[in-house]
Amino acid sequence: MTDSPATATSQAFPLTLPADLTIREVGELRDDWLRWVQEALADDASDTLPLLAAGVKQIDSAGTQLLLSLDRLALQQQRPLRLVAPSPALVEACAQLGMAQWLAARTTHGA
């Protein structure tokens, strides 16, 4: 995997979501992102784990499923994800998948 803004091992806190968060990318990102969440939970003292979400252009059910998986892992430590400025594509995908309330509960518009 190449280092990119979405590569957790090259990314400091917070994590920037990639433009494409679809089934093709999820397979490559999953393990790194799960590791990132575990490291962030151990290293950072904030109440939430911020994900910069403004740049997401495409997301499918695999991408939203990965976000839910990360959130579930973070919630085990009482530290939910915080999606910063979710893009219109992310908002629309969550609405179509019945996740609008989940997204609203985890959204902030400032960094």
pLDDT tens for each residue of 32-55: 998 888 888 887 677 888 999 999
Taking CA atoms, 14 is separated from 30, 44, 61, 93, 97, in Å, by 16, 10, 23, 22, 25
Nearest to 68 by CA among 56, 85, 51: 51
- pLDDT value of residue 44: 65
What are the E-state strand segments in 20-106?
20-21, 49-52, 58-59, 81-84
Confidence (pLDDT) at 4:
44
In the sheet where 107-108 sits, what is the strand order? 15-16, 49-52, 81-84, 107-108
Ranges of residues in the chain with a pLDDT under 70 are 1-12, 44, 110-111
